[in-house]
Amino acid sequence: MKRSIFILFILASLLLTACGDPASGKLPADKTDEITATVTTTATVSEPTTTPNAPITTAPLPKTTAPDTSESPETEPPRTELPETEPPETADTPVTDAPPVTEAPAVTEELLAMGPVPTVLEYADREILYTSGETPLVTADGTPLTVLRAGHAVIAVARTDETVTILYRGWLCVLDADRLTAEAPSSAAETQNTLGGIYYPAGGRLIAVDAGHQGKGMKDQEPLGPGSTDMKTMLSTGTAGVSTRIAERELNLQVSLLLRDELIAHGYSVMMIRESHEVTLSNAQRALIANAYGADAFVRVHANGSTNPDARGAMTICQTANNPYNGELYEESYALSECMLESYCVATGIQLNNIWMTDTMTGINWAEVPVTIMEMGYMSNVEEDELMATDAFRKNAAVGMANGLDAYFEWKNTDSIIGKSNTGLSH
């Protein structure tokens, strides 16, 4: 009997040694190492897989999905209330008053390298004229530049009875006055009558500029994208300056008109969605006009607002790679957004925020061309509101946007387009 009790005591001691002391909570060394390894393995999280950035800079701007509403409103444009959703089921829900499908204006020539005078906005007395026939351009020192076709829009910065001085791609050229006319070519008028907008034909690329908002909002609803059953208000009234009380529609239009002049001086064809407040165009209809023209880039000019008075800075907006309506344009739209945001912030000194990728913007979803929304700054921030009201800022804003378009097309013309190389483009 005693021997049996002794054997049981020996067995119990061996078990305690193998399993650890329950009272102390300690485990044997070999068991502790095993559990630690398991916890470490479980806690290791792999880096998320992300969609490649447009290879424009070696340090790309941050890419975001729909903003987290628990954070500061700085990252959330106030006009957007729809959350990110799964791709909607499609239905045959048309947008009314769409412009007819027609052949887009033809591209006629490549652009020259920029010359020594970069901006036409330095000249207060400037006007848009058109060549009356084929017009050779020669610099002040007699260097031939190019020959413009008839009906080419140019910016005149000085004139006498016999001559007109124009600024083209940074070059000052003096032309005989009889080579220019203030009357737009009949072909441009016919295009406008068919497609809408205000068209300034030139060579090179065609830029569609949409000055956000208009005289009155449009409370009716339209599909969020082609074939979508999700509906959204056609056009909001926009925001206003907290200090200046300037309406956003006015700020957007004044900057867009300056951008028009700078783009024409850069040699681009330009199509303005509006040049007054007396229009009635929804967000989708604006995109359809840009589509009908076959724009090489669609730039939508806006300003921001927030309930947080400290929110500040500029951002651009484009679609996501998974956009169910035009996701195939994501890479080009992202590149356009990045080039414009960087150039704009360099020119204006405005804080650079981010590129917001979202599929909740009707005017983006209906676009069939590369598109970006330029949010210039916060009108709800006293300092930025008062800054954006100045002539100097507005000129710098237009110059920055035009330079951003130059950078975008430089990127387009290199071998660094997405999928071809990862060298990126320095701009």
**What residue numbers bound the domain in which 159 lies?**
120-181
325-360 confidence digits (pLDDT tens): 999 999 999 999 999 999 999 999 999 999 999 999
Tokens 């052949």, residue? 103
**Total domains, the chain:** 2
Does residue 225 sit in the same domain as residue 334?
Answer: yes
Question: CA 397, 151, 182, 112 torsion: positive or negative?
Answer: positive
> Is 13 a member of any domain?
no
> Is 58 a member of any domain?
no
Does residue 213 sit in the same domain as residue 99?
Answer: yes
Q: How confident is the model over 16-42, as a mean pLDDT?
A: 39
What span, in angstroms and rounded, lies between the C-alpha atoms of 195 and 187? 12
Q: What is the pLDDT of residue 1?
A: 52
Of the pLDDT bands very low, low, confident and very high (cuts 50, 70, 90), residue 4 is: low
- Measured N-to-C along each axis, helices 248-265 and 391-412 cross at an angle, to the nearest 10 degrees, of 50
Does residue 220 sit in the same domain as residue 313?
Answer: yes
Does residue 90 sit in the same domain as residue 142?
Answer: no
Q: What is the pLDDT of residue 110?
A: 73
CATH number of the domain to which 148 belongs: 2.30.30.40
Does residue 151 sit in the same domain as residue 86?
Answer: no
Q: How confident is the model over 86-91, as a mean pLDDT?
A: 39
> Is 46 a member of any domain?
no
What span, in angstroms and rounded, lies between the C-alpha atoms of 254 and 343? 19
What span, in angstroms and rounded, lies between the C-alpha atoms of 63 and 338? 10
For the chain, percent of residues with pLDDT exceeding 90: 67
β partners of residue 127: 156
Q: How confident is the model over 88-113, as a mean pLDDT?
A: 58
- Beta strands 314-318 and 144-148 are unpaired
Q: How confident is the model over 313-321, as a mean pLDDT?
A: 98
Q: How far is CA 159 from CA 127, 176, 203, 349, 362, in A?
A: 10, 10, 23, 34, 44
Q: What is the pLDDT of residue 12?
A: 52
Q: How confident is the model over 119-123, as a mean pLDDT?
A: 95
Does residue 93 sit in the same domain as residue 124?
Answer: no
> Is 396 a member of any domain?
yes
Of the pLDDT bands very low, low, confident and very high (cuts 50, 70, 90), residue 6 is: low
**Amino acid making up residue 350:** I
For the whole model, what pTM was predicted?
0.77
Does residue 227 sit in the same domain as residue 175?
Answer: no
Q: What is the pLDDT of residue 17?
A: 45
Q: How far is CA 353 from CA 59, 64, 83, 367, 388, in A?
A: 14, 11, 21, 24, 17
Of the pLDDT bands very low, low, confident and very high (cuts 50, 70, 90), residue 427 is: very low
Does residue 234 sit in the same domain as residue 281?
Answer: yes
> Is 422 a member of any domain?
no
> Is 163 a member of any domain?
yes
Instruction: With a cut of 50, say whether residue 65 has pLDDT above it.
Output: no
Does residue 124 sit in the same domain as residue 168?
Answer: yes
What span, in angstroms and rounded, lies between the C-alpha atoms of 88 and 398? 37
Does residue 260 sit in the same domain as residue 380?
Answer: yes
230-266 confidence digits (pLDDT tens): 999 999 999 999 999 999 999 999 999 999 999 999 9
Q: How confident is the model over 163-185, as a mean pLDDT?
A: 96
CATH number of the domain to which 342 belongs: 3.40.630.40
Q: What is the pLDDT of residue 152?
A: 96
Of the pLDDT bands very low, low, confident and very high (cuts 50, 70, 90), residue 203 is: confident
Q: Report the chain's mean pLDDT, rounded to a whole number.
A: 81
181-201 confidence digits (pLDDT tens): 999 999 999 999 999 999 999
Instruction: With a cut of 50, say whether residue 161 has pLDDT above it.
Output: yes
Does residue 221 sit in the same domain as residue 124?
Answer: no
Asked if 208 contacts 161 with a C-beta cutoff of 8 angstroms, the reply is: no
Q: Which two tokens stand for residue 328?
A: 């195939």
> Is 41 a member of any domain?
no
Does residue 285 sit in the same domain as residue 137?
Answer: no
Of the pLDDT bands very low, low, confident and very high (cuts 50, 70, 90), residue 53 is: very low
Tokens 């020959």, residue? 147
User: How many other β-carbons are positioned within 10 Å of the β-carbon of residue 388?
Assistant: 25
For the chain, percent of residues with pLDDT exceeding 70: 72
Q: What is the pLDDT of residue 8?
A: 52
Decide which of 150, 181, 212 is a domain's last residue: 181
Q: What is the pLDDT of residue 332?
A: 98
357-413 confidence digits (pLDDT tens): 999 999 999 999 999 999 999 999 999 999 999 999 999 999 999 999 999 999 998
Instruction: Tell which wins on pLDDT, 370 or 418.
Output: 370
Q: What is the pLDDT of residue 101?
A: 54
Q: What is the pLDDT of residue 58?
A: 36
> Is 40 a member of any domain?
no
